[in-house]
């Protein structure tokens, strides 16, 4: 039986590390606001690269004011995202980089990035897995959803970067 570790790609198009850190701060602020008071009055401070702003309004108002656009699946093809690249040239593609990073017992990395001796914990059911071929690596924001939400307008390089992002320090699955 196959289990899935879920990988998350950033919601925004690929950006330099300092921009990713800023987005991470903003995402955490929104998550904190949603966690604290679903429906009450929320004060959220967001930090931008050059300035800070404070917003104080009901969460319901903030959510109601989020822009909504029709999603478009036309033209979607998973191959347009160029998955599982070896960005650092070490012989291990993104899938194996995630497996190595997320192992609860680190595997031995052999020729051609073959993995032996590792263990992986499924966050979803608490099961432990020892065969990397039994584990799928997926994106928490599916590539089709990214396409529907605007990735169709990105360059091929942006889609590749999105699909293979390893820049977020939080564990996969997220």
Q: Could you tell me the pTM of the whole model?
A: 0.60
Provide Rg for the chain, Cα atoms.
19
Q: How far apart are CA 100 and CA 153, in angstroms?
A: 32
Q: How far is CA 135 from the centre of its chain?
A: 17
Is the bond leading into 173 cis (omega within 30 degrees of zero)? yes
What is the signed CA dihedral for 118, 92, 8, 26, rounded to 10 degrees? 110
In a 3-state reduction of DSSP, which class is residue 47? strand
Helix (H) or strand (E) holding 152: none
Q: How far apart are CA 147 and CA 30, in angstroms?
A: 23
* Residuewise pLDDT in 10s, the chain (174 residues): 444 444 444 444 444 544 444 444 555 544 444 444 444 444 444 444 556 678 888 999 999 999 888 888 999 999 999 999 999 999 999 999 999 999 999 999 999 999 999 999 988 889 999 999 999 887 878 999 999 989 999 999 999 999 998 887 665 553
């Amino acid at each position: 039986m196959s289990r899935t570790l879920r990988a998350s790609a950033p919601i925004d198009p690929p950006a330099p590390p300092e921009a990713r850190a800023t987005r991470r701060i903003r995402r955490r602020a929104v998550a904190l606001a949603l966690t604290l008071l679903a429906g009450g009055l929320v004060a959220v401070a967001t930090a931008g690269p050059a300035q800070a702003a404070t917003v104080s309004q009901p969460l319901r108002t903030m959510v109601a004011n989020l822009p909504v656009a029709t999603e478009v699946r036309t033209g979607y093809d998973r191959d347009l995202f160029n998955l599982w690249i070896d960005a650092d040239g070490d012989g291990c593609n993104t899938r194996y980089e995630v497996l190595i990073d997320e192992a609860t017992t680190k595997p031995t990395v052999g020729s051609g990035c073959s993995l032996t001796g590792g263990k992986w914990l499924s966050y979803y059911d608490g099961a432990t897995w020892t065969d990397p071929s039994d584990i799928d690596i997926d994106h928490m924001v599916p590539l089709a959803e990214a396409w529907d939400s605007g990735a169709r307008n990105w360059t091929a390089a942006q889609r590749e970067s999105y699909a293979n992002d390893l820049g977020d320090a939080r564990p996969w699955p997220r």
